[in-house]
Chain A
């Protein structure tokens, strides 16, 4: 409590926007915090030709919801997305998988 009072005085003196609002200043945490993330939480790609490619090449880094929550994208937009994953994010998607992947994404999550 003594420390909090000192801090409040110092803050008022320096006139910063950082202001003591809480009654006491919390101390830094100690020890472990452990969580268990739910993976893909049961979400999966829609079935259809090429879904195996999406499973093989998209799920390495992210769940299917990255795809399924997008607005309806055109073939050109899905092509750009696949290329961005490869060139910007370093996803090891082989050249020969790209056409099938774009076909699948356009058919199931896009428009021609």
Chain B
């Protein structure tokens, strides 16, 4: 692979994310429109927030990209691709996509959000991928239920977790291969699917062509791309990516005091309820008159019950209107209006309530990895 194999040239544009050292070039990677480049190798590409204002589903060519390991196949043959199903099963399987498609297809609208989405906004800052809030996207995923695949193989009584591996690998043999595991009960859920289409099209290679795992409601670390093996374990997975990485404090609110050590941890799991404005940025200047505020909300799978908007930084709230419901795992668009008075300043805040009763907090918890951002987002705007 030669650097410069793609005619990228000099970045035509850069965008400044809202934290120190947040300048990012906008470059078009294969099958992608220009996106914010966090790192080119392995590719980590952030979706500009304005994309989320343009529709409830995130276009495939704008969908964020995050790989952990630099050895990524640049040519994948969907016809030859096989998924091995093995471990604590009665029958080991080697499934082509055609084999997969013998199961009943299902579709689910679901948000795929990086565990570290918004990490760059952590206070104090933490090392790691410095994402703003664009390491997420919402797509309509098509595939078959993982449960149907597991049942075809036949779980043995020893089955405890299911481990997923994809075609990517580290550069050095000593680098832990990226593998993720789910408890059997989660893996057998109604909505966990092995997906071969995204918004009605094949997945972009950088999003896992030809097939990836979809775990609606859970952070995207579990959504293994270029899925090549499904291994049923008779124990709790102790590989690096489960035992050491992607852990959150097992403390109230999964939060600790910065600098704390020695606290117990658990694997990251369901997403927190969040909401964002999609047609506002902090520091924006608005024209006076009636202005529409628009945004999105989502949670870990109970669905959005209510979104509130405040114009005074959270002292008083009023309900926003919720738009069409595409299912409990997807983005839910909301809108509200603001009568912008000449010369006024507003601190606009957005707060979502999930159907399970969870509400966004006014202050952000902290953890050493910068996971779980869920704070009420605020936007200071002034009116000309």
Physical interaction between A and B = yes
Interface, chain A (partner B; CB < 8 A): 7, 10-11, 14, 16-22, 25-43, 60-63, 65-66, 68-73, 77, 80-81, 88-92
Interface residues of B in 1-48 (CB under 8 A from A): 1-6, 8, 10, 19-21, 24-25, 27, 29-31, 37-43
CA distance A61 to B140 in the complex (A): 33
* Distance in angstroms between the alpha carbons of A74 and B49 in the assembled complex: 31
Secondary structure dominating the interface of B: loop
| Inter-chain residue pair count (beta carbon < 8 A) | 201
Known: A65-B40, A90-B170, A90-B175. A27 touches B101 (CB 8 A): yes
List, sorted by A's number, 11 A–B pairs whose CB atoms are closer than 8 Å: A7-B105, A17-B190, A17-B328, A26-B142, A29-B209, A30-B97, A34-B205, A37-B40, A38-B3, A38-B6, A62-B42
Is B74 a contact of A37 with CB atoms below 8 Å? Answer: yes
> CA A32 – CA B210 in complex, angstroms?
9
**Which residues in A have their C-beta under 8 angstroms from that of B210?**
28-29, 33
A5 to chain B, nearest CB (A): 12
List, in ascending order, chain A residues with CB within 8 A of B366's CB: none
**Majority secondary structure of chain A interface residues (helix, strand, loop or mixed):** loop
Give the CA-CA distance A7 to B190 in the complex, in Å: 15
Instruction: Indicate whether A18 sits within 8 Å of B107 (C-beta atoms), given known contacts A25-B142, A29-B97, A88-B244.
Output: yes
Question: Of A26, A35, A61, which contacts B201 at CB under 8 A?
Answer: A26
**Contact residues of B between 116 and 139, Cβ < 8 Å to A:** 120, 125-127, 129-130
Query: Are A65 and B127 also in contact (CB < 8 A) when A22-B140, A33-B209, A91-B172 are?
Result: no
In the complex, A27→B100 CA distance in Å?
A: 11
Knowing A25-B105, A36-B6 are in contact, say whether A43-B78 is a contact too (CB < 8 A).
no
- Which residue of chain B has the shortest Cβ distance to A32 in the bound complex? B77
- Interface residue ranges of B158-182 to A (CB < 8 Å): 170-176
A29: which B residues are within 8 A, CB to CB? 78, 97, 196-197, 202-203, 209-210
Which residue in A14, A33, A61, A62 is a CB contact (below 8 Å) of B205? Answer: A33
CA distance A73 to B70 in the complex (A): 24
Shortest Cβ distance from B281 into chain A, in angstroms? Answer: 20
Q: B108, A71: Cβ atoms under 8 Å?
A: no
